[in-house]
């Protein structure tokens, strides 16, 4: 029964969208909906900025910076370990 209803719905939707007037109205409704969504997103970002709340892209940017810092810290730690190893070897050879 579900498949029959789904098939009928597809058929009727295709038939209706085949009429230029219906297609234009659906297209117009979609464009209005997208415009409203853009305005809502823009206003939400403005509100969040005014309330000093980070947006998802702000958090993603901070996470990327943290990952870069972690990589830099690990590189520095590795270099320090090598220097310490060299100093220990030099100390043992000079003794």
Residue with the bigger pLDDT between 95 and 7: it is: 7
Give the mean model confidence (pLDDT) for residues 2-22: 85
Burial 38-59 (b: 16+ CB within 10 A, else e): eeeeeeeeeeeeeeeeeeeeee
pLDDT at 95 (0 to 100): 64
Are the C-beta atoms of 17 and 26 separated by less than 8 Å?
Answer: yes
Confidence (pTM): 0.51
In total, the chain counts a number of residues equal to 95
Half-sphere exposure of 88 (CA within 13 A, CB side): 6
Residue with the bigger pLDDT between 91 and 60: it is: 60
pLDDT digits (tens, 9 = 90+) for 14-60: 888 788 887 888 899 999 999 999 999 999 999 999 999 999 999 99
């Amino acid at each position: 029964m579900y498949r029959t209803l789904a098939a009928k719905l597809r058929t009727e939707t295709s038939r209706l969208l085949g009429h230029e007037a219906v297609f234009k109205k659906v297209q117009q409704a979609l464009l209005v909906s997208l415009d409203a969504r853009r305005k809502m997103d823009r206003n939400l970002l403005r509100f969040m900025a005014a309330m000093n709340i980070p947006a998802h892209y702000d958090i993603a940017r901070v996470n990327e910076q943290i990952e870069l810092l972690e990589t830099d810290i690990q590189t520095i730690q590795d270099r320090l370990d090598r220097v310490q190893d060299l100093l220990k070897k030099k100390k043992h050879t000079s003794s």
